[in-house]
Structure 1
Amino acid sequence: MIAWRYLRAKRAEGGVSVMTWISLIGITLAVAALIITLAVRSGFRYEFVDTILGANAHVTVYSSGRTTDAGTYAQVIEDFDGLTAKLADAPGVVSSAPLVKGQVMASASSGNAGVEVFGIRADDLAGVRRVVEPEQKLGDLAQFGVANNGMTIAIGWGVARSLGVSVGDKVKLISPNGTKTAFGTSPRVTAFEVVYIFQVGRYDIDRTRVYMPFDKAQEYFNREGVADEIEVILDDPENVGKYERDLLSAAGDGALLWTWRDSSGAFLQALEMEDNVMFLILSILVLIASMNIVSGLIMLVKNKGRDIGILRTMGLSEGSVLRVFFICGAAIGVVGTIAGMILGCLFAIYIDQIFGLVNWVAGGGVWDPSVRLISKLPARLEWGDVLSAISLSLFLSFVVTIFPARRAARMNPVEALRYE
């Protein structure tokens, strides 16, 4: 009751209501900022990893290579169907598929673009989650390898935009390693019909990825009867390391593995380091907001010195006085933390609408996918992040409250009432 009266007291009554509001708003904004940052951090990592795992192989199996009878070095897989079947039976493997890959120039009437071609069977492409269920799509994936005598391709949204093509248009693919003639190797130029356009949400994939039927890719890249690699999809890609031994055993001698963590590990480590630094910086922000409670309580103790002396004279113990002022500070921390949690969660939930408004006010171009790799600002609320923000705020609020509360409890009632 006493603590509640002190919190509501006006300046004329010796209260510090203005400082109370400042402390409350500071805690609220600090906790909200921490929750929003943690949500965006979690969302960015989830979206980044999901686009990698949803549109790429979790593990790629290569051949270490051999020297052919002609004296050339070939790093291809000859018995790719047999190796694919062996890998599919390995523990933790959801699916495996042979691939033919190559980099070519794509050309249409509206422009040119360098692309990376993935030769893959239609059934295997139907298992690539981010391609089957993209952010945006045009056309029918069922026509892949069927329409136009199999001369079909599926292309990324960025490729389609660069070339200025849509579903049903023809795209010429130009490979420098084409047909061998008596006068040397001439470039191979082949036209394919676009039957499907997808946007997985990752800039470097949408801007370069082209899928071609596996048999047509073998012909186009001079890979008759062989494959370049085997693509493996796992049921638990986050723990890819525990499957490597079994995959190597299934692949046999001369096989090499390349996991998604090998290709993106450096970026994930950079994300983790950034996460830790951001949490530390925003924790300092919460601490600074909590210090406002200290200043408000010190002023309150100074203004209420006479009250403390009277209460002590009436028999109130040091512990009771400490609890009064501790409740004053802790109440500000608890209310501010709850308000900050609500504000931060609402911001994270409606971040798309808020960011759309910011982008509209700024005239567009606030988010550049070519720099950040993903197409939108993500946010993912996780209870662990919310609880860590709440725990940090409450802990700091309670700790900093103890010092001015102890000062009030140790005040000598005789000194407090000497000049009254």
Structure 2
Amino acid sequence: MAVQPKPFSAFETMIAWRYLRAKRAEGGVSVMTWISLIGITLAVFALIATLAVRAGFRAEFVDTILGSNAHVTVYNAGTVDQQTGRIDRQITDYEAMAERLRAVEGVTRAAPLIKNQVLATVGDRNAGVEVRGITLEDLKGLPRIADPGTAQGDIEDFALDSTEDGVFPIAIGSGVASTLGIGVGDKIRVINPTGNRTALGTSPRVNAYDVVYVFSAGRYDIDRVRVYLPFAEAQSFFNSEGKADEIEVMVEDPERVDEMSLDLLNAAGENTQIWTWRDSSSGFLRALEVEDNVMFIILSILVLIAAMNITSGLIMLVKNKGRDIGILRTMGLTEGSVLRVFFMCGAFIGIIGTVMGTVLGCLFALYIDQIFGILDSFSDQPIWTPDTRGIYFLPAKLEFWDVMSAVGLSLFLSFVVTIFPARRAARMNPVEALRYE
């Protein structure tokens, strides 16, 4: 009794590999093999590169939010002024409220803040800016703002009651500095349209400040509008002595901020509201999530189309190797062995293409800055413009599960589309295959 060979034995692998390397003159389809291989490689490369850019963009976007803004902002719900009918939302007991918020487990910082929008001017240049009044210690608690690697000047100078010429210091974003054409050591005028209150009404208040610090938060929309004043000076400038507009809270784990909302509300007291970083960016984060899912589906279809080339190549291979199949079957090769031979032909293409695509995709993610630098050298304008895309560069972040999902999808599709032509070869009648030979 003949001994049946084990599945995927050495001779089956040898036959499959020989068929893949066969030239057209020998009845092979080497051209189709190369087309299938290149298609799988490019599809996997595109999928991994897209997933890496998506992960990097979200990580950079979230990091700029968490590094330059409050994780949670606490507001006063407001009380109605009986005389004017206006709603007053300023916080009078801000020190006590900040202390209660600091006592909540997981809170790392609670800082009273003054916030208003004014006009900044230098010579004939003007810019609308958002002034935030904050203490030095609280300003240093914002990683993206206090980063010495991207900033100009000394942040410690922000603590001065006044500079050498008796003028209060100010910290401005790099976008504001670029718009106004100034830097550290220059003066800037800030105009509050409703600053001075007199018997005849209100008149603009104009103060000059010395620029002691220029920061770059990594987000164009932040750097081009935000400036910081010392907390006490901001209170005076906006007629808010003894008051704060809001309390900004930083927590240890921003991803769990929703779980802390109730504790923060209870600590803040009655008639308060909170606004988390997820609330402020929820629309953009949802758009990113939808885009991620759509892009993954589209690129999965691209991988499927590339994998279908394997099917067409194997069908041609089965047709050209009909005589060989008939001879092997008459020599005792089973249907299972024939199926496995042609299955391995397609699987080899899928595995090699997947490996090559994975390597290219990972290299693209690792050297994306250098690649874009080369592409920019061939263009008059940079490919990535921060004023339209928010952040200053296109980031890429390799995530293990993103790479594994791309690899798994490619291998799965490559194996599945190989089954049909492999079964067709296995079911070929050896008599019919050799009839005209």
TM bucket normalised to smaller: over 0.9
Task: Give the TM-score normalised by the residue count of structure 2.
Answer: 0.94
Cα distance in 2 for partners of 1:27, 1:73 equals 62
CA contact (8 A) 2:57 2:394 kept: yes
CA distance in 2, matches of 1:39, 1:29: 15
Runs (5+) with no aligned partner, structure 1: none
Looking at structure 1, the residues matched to 424 and 436 of structure 2 have their Cα atoms a distance apart, in angstroms, of: 20
Q: Is the Cα–Cα contact under 8 Å of residues 77 and 227 in structure 1 kept in the other structure?
A: yes
The answer for the alignment partner of 2:205 in structure 1 is 188
**What's the TM-score, normalizing by structure 1?**
0.98
Displacement after TM superposition at 1:249 (Å):
0.7
Aligned to 1:399: 416
| Paired positions, count | 420
1:219-234 alignment, distance < 5 Å: 219-234=236-251
Question: Could you say which residue in structure 1 is the equivalent of 2:214?
Answer: 197
Q: Which residue of 2 aligns with 1:10?
A: 23
- What letter matches 1:341 in structure 2? T
> Is residue 143 of structure 2 the alignment partner of residue 129 of structure 1?
yes
Aligned to 1:303: 320
Contact 2:372 2:383 in 1 (8 A): no
Where 1:133 maps in the other structure, the secondary structure is coil
Once the two structures are overlaid, the 10-residue window that deviates more, 148-157 or 371-380, is: 148-157
Alignment correspondent of 2:331: 314
Aligned partners of 2:388, 2:148: CA distance in 1, in Å? 20
1:181, CA displacement in angstroms? 1.4
* Partner secondary structure for residue 167 of structure 1: coil
1:177-219 CA distance string (max 9 Å, x none):
1111122111000001000101111011000000100000000
Distance 2:379 2:55 in 1: 26
Go from structure 1 to structure 2 and tell me whether the alpha carbon gap of 1:20 and 1:356 turns closer, same or farther (over 3 Å shift).
same
Distance 1:152 1:186 in 2: 23
What is the deviation of 1:73? 3.2
Report the Cα distance in structure 1 between the residues aligned to 2:80 and 2:287, rounded to whole angstroms: 40
Stretches of 4+ aligned residues off by more than 6 angstroms: none
Equivalent residue runs for 1:208-227 within 5 Å: 208-227=225-244
Paired with 1:402 and 1:242, the residues of 2 have a C-alpha distance of: 49
Aligned residue among 95, 103, 122 for 1:108 = 122
Residue 365 of structure 1: how far off its partner (Å): 3.1
Aligned to 1:43: 56
Q: How far apart are residue 134 of structure 1 and its match?
A: 6.5
Which residue among 85, 96, 109 is the counterpart of 2:110?
Answer: 96
Please give the per-residue CA displacement for 1:79-99, whole angstroms capped at 9, x wherever unaligned. Answer: 111100100111211111000
Mapped to 2, the partners of 1:218 and 1:13 lie a distance apart of: 87
Residue in 1 aligned with 2:65?
52
Q: Hey, what does 2:268 align to over in structure 1?
A: 251
> Shift of the alpha carbon at 1:364?
2.2
Q: Does the 8 Å contact 1:58/1:260 carry over to 2? A: yes
Kindly provide the amino acid, as one letter, of the partner of residue 30 in structure 1: A
Deviation, 1:150, is 6.8
> In 2, Cα distance between the equivalents of 1:364 and 1:57?
35
- The 8 Å contact of residues 135 and 201 in structure 1, kept in 2 or not, is answered as no
SS at match of 1:20: helix
Structure 1 residue 136 displacement after superposition:
2.2
Let me know the Cα RMSD of the aligned residues.
Answer: 1.2
Contact 2:167–2:208 (Cα < 8 Å) also in 1: no
Matched, 1:365 2:382: yes
Aligned: 1:24 with 2:37:
yes
| Residues 144 and 150, structure 1, Cα contact 8 Å, conserved in 2 | no
The Cα shift of 1:64 comes to: 1.0
The reply on whether 1:340 has 2:354 as its aligned counterpart is: no
Change (3 A) 1:63 1:390: same
- Paired residue type of 1:235: E
Name the aligned partner's letter for residue 113 of structure 1.
A
For residue 275 of structure 2, give the secondary structure of its aligned residue in structure 1: strand
CA distance in 2, matches of 1:239, 1:32: 34
8 Å Cα contact 1:110/1:164 also seen in 2: no
Q: Deviations over 1:117-169 (max 9, x none)?
A: 00000000000010112662111101003151571111000000011111010
From the superposition, tell whether residues 95 and 150 of structure 1 become closer, same or farther in structure 2 (CA, over 3 Å). farther
Alignment of 1:138-287 (within 5 A): 138-146=152-160, 147-148=162-163, 151-287=168-304
- Per-residue CA deviation, residues 380-417 of structure 1 (Å, 9 max, x unaligned), is 11011000000000000000001100000000000000
Secondary structure in 2 matching 1:136: coil
Counterpart AA for 1:220: F
Counterpart of 1:64?
Answer: 77
Q: What's the CA shift for 1:239?
A: 2.1
Name the SS of the counterpart of 1:132 in structure 2: coil
Asked if structure 2 preserves the Cα contact closer than 8 Å seen for 1:60 and 1:231, the reply is yes
Write the distance in 2 (CA, Å) between the matches of 1:85 and 1:296: 71
Structure 2, unpaired ranges of 5+: 1-13
